A and B are shown apart, each in its own frame.
Chain A
Amino acid sequence: MELNLNELQIDALKEIGNIGAGNAATALSQLINKKVDMSVPQLDILEFSDMIKRVGNEDDEVVAVLLKVFGDIQGNILFLVKNEEAQKFFDTLMFGFSNINEEMFYSMFQEIGNILGNSYLNAVSQITNLSLLLFHQ
């Protein structure tokens, strides 16, 4: 894909990503009641098919929540966690609850994806003045 961005534009996109992710990390920390660290976001312009290689191993089994962004900008947010990490989320958030079924497992990850995606977009929307909405299937 031909997308010519200058240094300043790349820097701006990184900073927008950084603010969005920072807000999402804060939300995650409140959700699980634990400290959450994050690395500096990396910006890549690449083929869609190369994305998998960029984020992990093709053979890893993961829990994935896909959120559609609509409004002033259309796009996708994908929340990915490896299965063993997903289990940790579940154990942390479901601690003390009994009768937890598979439906609750799905519901929990949909809601985590929803909250993180929205907190990301809330921050991005605030600094860009764009109206951004989420739709999760």
Chain B
Amino acid sequence: MARVLIVDDAAFMRMMLKDILTKNGYEVIGEAPNGAKAVEIYKAERPDVVTMDITMPEMDGIQAVKEIKAFDPNAKIIMCSAMGQQAMVMEAIKSGARDFIVKPLQPERVLEALKKVLG
């Protein structure tokens, strides 16, 4: 069972994502409302995969990806953001994210992305 860390500043979004994941056999090992907390939980828990929002208080998702990748170059991170503008997608991928999902989240798309990065 793959261990997932969910990062999103919206409690509602974390709840929806957790619901999709747990119903499909994933274990949600932690939830973070900002990038700083995400980095902290990543270092302590070493999850198999991270879902990462971009626009968040304290530390945004792009910076969090950079810090997690610096700590663990093999970290698998999937961006989940409403901000689908090309420049943002490119920046996330350049920073080390493996995939980019534009909200609203389609459960099939989320599961497909997870399968791909874990495969």
A interface with B by C-beta (< 8 Å): 27-28, 30-31, 93, 97, 103-104, 107-108, 110-111, 114-115, 117-119, 121-122, 125-126, 131-136
Interchain CB contact (< 8 A) of B12 among A108, A126, A131, A135: A108
- If the complex has contacts A97-B19, A115-B103, are A133 and B10 also in contact, measured as CB distance less than 8 A? no
List residues of chain A with CB within 8 A of the CB of B81: 118
Chain B residues near A104 (CB, 8 Å)?
Answer: 11-12, 15
Asked if A107 contacts B11 (CB within 8 A), the reply is: yes
Residues of chain B at the chain A interface (Cβ within 8 Å): 10-13, 15-16, 19, 55, 81-87, 102-104, 106
- The one of B15, B85, B86, B102 in contact with A97, judged by C-beta atoms closer than 8 angstroms, is B15
Chain A nearest Cβ from B62, distance in angstroms: 13
Among B11, B81, B102, B104, chain A packs the most CB atoms within 10 A around the CB of: B104
A sample of 18 more A-B contacts (CB under 8 A), given A27-B104, A104-B15, A107-B12, is A30-B104, A31-B104, A93-B12, A97-B19, A103-B11, A107-B11, A108-B12, A115-B103, A117-B82, A118-B81, A118-B103, A119-B84, A119-B102, A126-B85, A126-B86, A131-B87, A134-B83, A135-B55
